[in-house]
């Protein structure tokens, strides 16, 4: 784990723009180790890059992650429908309540879907 500590110190020292992403890079490398094992071009021996690579290699992985994340396909902005129902007609024990917001939410969702379909047909 000496490389992990060295890389952590390095990435914090070189994060001069103050983006606050240095800790995220280190954490991402911890979390995505198994993914890197499958997809990174250089073999990762023992399943942990902290034991397999030099500090320069780990920096190269960081650069590779940044490049790959910028290559991900993006989608155009789309409207989304989100809502919260505070009352669904039943309480936590299953007893009926006087209010059921699901019917009103369903009607709004139907309007949203119809509007989206009309917009899609008009494109």
pTM exceeding 0.85: no
User: pLDDT value at position 72?
Assistant: 60
Strand pairing category for 88-90 and 96-100: antiparallel
Local structure of 96: helix, strand or coil: strand
Local structure of 21: helix, strand or coil: coil
What pLDDT, in 10s, does the model give residues 62-117?
787 778 776 666 656 677 888 888 898 888 888 999 999 999 999 999 999 898 88
Q: Is 94 left (phi over 0), alpha (psi -120 to 50) or beta?
A: left
How far does CA 61 lie from the centroid of its chain? 19
CA distance 12 to 20: 9
In this predicted structure, the answer to whether residue 59 has a pLDDT above a threshold of 60 is yes
Q: Percentage of residues in the chain with pLDDT exceeding 90?
A: 11
User: pLDDT value at position 110?
Assistant: 92
Confidence band of 4 (pLDDT split at 50, 70, 90): confident
């Amino acid at each position: 784990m000496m490389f992990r500590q060295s890389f952590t110190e390095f990435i914090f020292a070189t994060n001069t723009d103050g983006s606050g992403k240095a800790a995220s890079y280190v954490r991402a490398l911890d979390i995505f180790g198994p993914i890197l094992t499958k997809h990174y071009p250089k073999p990762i021996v023992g399943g942990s890059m902290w034991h397999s690579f030099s500090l320069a290699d780990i920096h190269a992985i960081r650069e590779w992650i940044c490049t790959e994340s910028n290559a991900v396909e993006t989608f155009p902005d789309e409207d989304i429908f989100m809502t919260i129902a505070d009352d669904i007609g039943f309480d936590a024990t299953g007893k009926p309540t006087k209010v059921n917001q699901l019917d009103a939410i369903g009607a709004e969702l139907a309007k949203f879907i119809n509007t989206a379909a009309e917009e899609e047909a008009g494109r």
